[in-house]
Structure 1
Amino acid sequence: MNTKLTLTMDKAVIEMAKKYAKEEGRSLSDLVENYFKMISSTSRTEEKIKEVAEDPTPYTTSLLGVMKLPKDFDPEKELQERREKKYLKK
């Protein structure tokens, strides 16, 4: 269920955000919603973002929180297993 939210911000920031949203082909509401999802996600902290990518792009960052991973998920182990499967064909 969608609910309306009113925010008060600097006019210049709003204009920049609208321009960015238009360039990305997304709505401002979508950008704000995904940002809130990202910062409120308990499974993805800023440190984990840096582990995944040294310099995440806004698009990559916007995808955080879209998927829920198991609590015991180990990205290093997963990557190693996939590499072994791909390159060490038995």
Structure 2
Amino acid sequence: MSKKLTLRLDEDVIERAKAYAADRDTSVSRLVEAYFAAVTETNGDRKQTSFSGTTRQFIGVLDEADEADEADYKQHLEEKYLDEST
């Protein structure tokens, strides 16, 4: 069963991800799903712990208290699209 997930990423990263996905005839969603599947893959009863250096640098970066809530995100979208319409 598929479910929607919203991610906030740097615009440049998004554009590069879209180009990367297009070059491989896939979608950014499928790339993200494949990545998450790989990093959360279980080996028997325990999760894989052999992450690349790039992946390891992001583990634990965000503290739960630092995460923006839904109201912050809605405000961001309103500001973004109001700025584009003017």
| Equivalenced residues, count | 48
Q: Sequence identity, in percent?
A: 46
Q: CA RMSD in A?
A: 1.8
Higher strand share goes to which structure? 2
User: What are the equivalent positions in structure 2 for 1:3-18 lying under 5 Å apart?
Assistant: 3-18=3-18
Kindly indicate whether residue 50 of structure 2 is the aligned counterpart of residue 46 of structure 1. Answer: yes
Q: Which residue of 2 aligns with 1:70?
A: none
User: What are the equivalent positions in structure 2 for 1:69-84 lying under 5 Å apart?
Assistant: none
Q: Which has the larger radius of gyration?
A: 1
Q: Which residue of 2 aligns with 1:30?
A: 30
Instruction: Structure 2 unaligned segments of length 5 or more: list them.
Output: 53-86
Instruction: Structure 1 unaligned segments of length 5 or more: list them.
Output: 50-90
Secondary structure of the residue that 1:4 maps to in structure 2? Answer: coil
User: d(CA) in 1 for partners of 2:37 and 2:24?
Assistant: 18
